[in-house]
């Protein structure tokens, strides 16, 4: 066969002295013992490096991050609850002021109606003054309550932003966010 095709035998056949055995050395049973020893040695070294050096650091970082996130979530919930409580208190103050103002206005109107039979002309001027005073009182109470609500909202929003982001928000940013 080698003599028939002179040009192809040089490239397709093994040189003299190399024609026996063949195959991959990884699949030959006489080499498996050393390969298994090296495999076990490499795995043992990798296991030692990973278990002693890398894995404790990674798991520690994961646990630390989880604890920080849980703490931040708890702080945010607490701040939210405080803000809601302050909003409820402000709403109760506004309702109380409104009820007092309505009672004052109703009392003034009842008194004016009773005296209207006696001195209608004189009391219309007094009633107008009392009504204006009551409306001014209502407006003042409402303005005070609303200014307190706005201040509380700005303080709360500023505290939340500072707690979540780590830096304080400017007054202009807070006012634009609450507008």
Q: What is the pLDDT of residues 106-127, one digit of tens each?
A: 988 888 777 776 778 777 778 8
The mean pLDDT of 77-85, rounded to a whole number, is 93
Name the residue ranges covered by the structural domains of the chain: 29-178
CA 142 to chain centroid: 34
Measured distance CA(25)–CA(22) in Å, rounded: 9
- Percent of residues in the chain assigned helix, strand, coil, to nearest 5: 85, 0, 15
**Which position has the token pair 């039979």?**
117
Measured distance CA(178)–CA(156) in Å, rounded: 11
Cα–Cα nearest to 128, from 151, 148, 108:
108
For helices 120-165 and 171-178, the axis angle rounded to 10 degrees is 120
Answer yes or no: is pLDDT of 65 > 60: yes
Q: What is the pLDDT of residues 11-59, one digit of tens each?
A: 566 556 555 556 666 666 777 788 889 899 999 999 998 889 888 888 8
Give the single-character DSSP code of 22: -
Q: What is the pTM of this model?
A: 0.33
Least confident of 10-19, 26-35, 92-101, 156-165: 10-19
The contacts of residue 84 (CB under 8 Å, 6+ apart) are none
Q: How far is CA 60 from CA 50, 63, 124, in A?
A: 14, 5, 80
**Which position has the token pair 């303080």?**
155
**What are the φ and ψ backbone dihedral angles of 17, each rounded to 5 degrees?**
95, -10
pLDDT: which is higher, 12 or 153: 153
Measured distance CA(139)–CA(165) in Å, rounded: 38
State the pLDDT at residue 25: 66
The contacts of residue 123 (CB under 8 Å, 6+ apart) are 112, 115, 116
CA quadruple 47, 48, 52, 56: dihedral, nearest 10: 0
């Amino acid at each position: 066969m080698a003599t028939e095709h002179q040009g192809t035998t040089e490239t397709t056949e093994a040189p003299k002295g190399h024609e026996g055995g063949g195959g991959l050395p990884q699949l030959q049973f006489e080499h498996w013992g050393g390969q298994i020893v090296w495999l076990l040695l490499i795995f043992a070294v990798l296991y030692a490096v990973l278990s002693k050096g890398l894995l404790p650091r990674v798991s520690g970082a994961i646990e630390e991050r989880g604890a920080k996130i849980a703490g931040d979530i708890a702080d945010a919930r607490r701040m939210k609850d405080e803000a809601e409580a302050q909003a409820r208190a402000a709403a109760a103050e506004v309702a109380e002021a409104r009820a007092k103002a309505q009672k004052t206005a109703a009392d003034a109107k009842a008194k004016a109606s009773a005296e209207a039979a006696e001195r209608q002309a004189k009391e219309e001027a007094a009633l107008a003054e009392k009504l204006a005073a009551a409306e001014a009182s209502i407006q003042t109470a409402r303005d005070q309550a609303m200014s307190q609500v706005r201040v509380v909202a700005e303080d709360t929003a500023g505290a939340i932003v500072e707690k979540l982001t780590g830096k304080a928000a400017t007054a202009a940013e807070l006012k634009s966010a609450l507008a």
